[in-house]
Structure 1
Amino acid sequence: MNNLLLKTIAVFTTVTSTSITMLALIRPASAAIFTPFSFNTHVTATPASDPNSGLLNDPTRDVRLDSVEFQGTTVTNFELVNKATILQNDTYTLADGTVAGVLHVGRGPNTANDPLITEGPSKINPTATDIVETLGNLNLNSILVTRENADRASIEVSFANPVNTFFFWERGGTAGGPIAGDSDLLVEALSDDYSTVLASYKILRSNYTKANYNISTQVFPVLNNGPFNIGSIGIRLGGITTKTLRLTSANNNGLRLDIPRDNGPDFKVLAANVPVPEPMTLLGVATASIFGTYFKLKRTNH
């Protein structure tokens, strides 16, 4: 057996060992995990009226999501939220005595007059249907708003088909400033009967990176502010899919001392089922590559 073949076998052994280790990591015995990743957001939006404003677009109008790009993959077909359940929506009292839940639905002040794409409503005390209408579209200027006036908000959102990849956009700091996202959100993937948490991930405000658009938000009649930066983050399930996420924020008003303050996340979420290479497929590719290199070198040496 010549030295070249021995070296090739040694490399193959290393690759095999690494692939087996990857298999153990990718398919843990106990539970699935979410893996975070960053992505680029590609949108269509009305240009800013003042080119010297520093804004990336007109933040009051529609922002249509066209695609996202990450790790060499471009996604254009998204799964939209088609069902929502409000689990907890702690309340606060407005100046006029109206009792409102901490969850609102909001949109850009001029989105209703923009024909580019549909958007959800702008209101306090949204129903489950209002949440579906807000999140179940590709208008990134139509978001779920969580105020900082009460403690806890928790909802479940579902998609029509099983998915493994989730894209989140969070309304962050003042447009042009350094802050991409300014709130935290607990994400839990649920089994089909909603009884089991398959995986969980706490998105922290520091996890977000800036997306390439701005928004302003109106929630009639309590909120009309902006423009803001937008932060984005993706999370992917390893080895499984789900149709339902539970999304929870707590201590939004900062009155509890026992847990961190989530600070009222204002967000959009969409999903996709993006193929993930199987570990044995990766092993096969590595094996073919190693032996292809060996035979190429062998021909060269002869």
Structure 2
Amino acid sequence: MRGRKRFSSRSRAAAVVITAALSAGCSAGGPAADATRPAAAEPRPKPRPLWNTSPASVAAVGDSITRAFDACTVLADCPEVSWATGTDTAVDSLALRLLGPEKVAGRSWNLARTGARMAELPGQMALAAERRPELVTVMMGANDACRDRAELMTPVDDFRASFTAALARLRAGAPKAQVYVSSVPDLKRLWATGRVEPMGRQVWKLGICASMLKDAEDLGPAAERRRARVRERVVAYNRVLQEVCAKDSRCRYDGGAVFGFAFDGGLLSPWDWFHPSRDGQARLAEIAYRQVTRE
């Protein structure tokens, strides 16, 4: 027929397909509609925190403070009143609070040693790893500063190397164990507390922490410089504990809580005016529990 353009059967079929596609896109929310409509976000599972505030077992490493030396009797350990793993309900140790009295004996281990310095910590950590604890407490460093002379204090680099190695030893055997690290106590504050007590001054003459406590009544420039040097070393040790711990996602430093705590006369051993008494151990347990259970 003249004057009218004719369509081939192939053209008519293509037109039908295009029309159907456009109709489906408009009426059924096809690609044209999806381009302007935000996709619904799929719910994501809440990530589990790495730090467990209710560990089911505790291993303690460290020195005489964790062994509760001089807390019950003179010149003797008294681990039953240890702040970390003790069974004495009056102290209410960290392990008692976390595990309860029925489990503390079988699910906690005190591996600390009176007189230990940081160089010994890798060995203690290896022993702790064998128990596969969910939490390891660390309180170490006072003996590295408490030497016969300030010149004998552990160098900071050596302190760092030993602490780093200790965490590595733990991770080799117990990669998921949490670690609570206590700061080293402020030894100069202990000196300021005990020096006004006649018994304290007398006992310190036997050589307890001589780098800090020697000649407790001497306020001359040389003695003050010596004490300041020891305190600066303790501050440096605590900085190492904080920095090394921060590199481990399952390690928690106490933020200087023990270093900043004021141990008065009633919280110090009546036999040496240096180690925590039974009440002092209870205060350490309170500090540790707050840090371990903090969300």
Q: TM-score, normalised by structure 2?
A: 0.29
Higher relative contact order (CA 8 A, sep 6+): 1
Structure number with greater Rg is: 2
Higher helix share: 2
Q: TM-score, normalised by structure 1?
A: 0.29
Higher strand share: 1
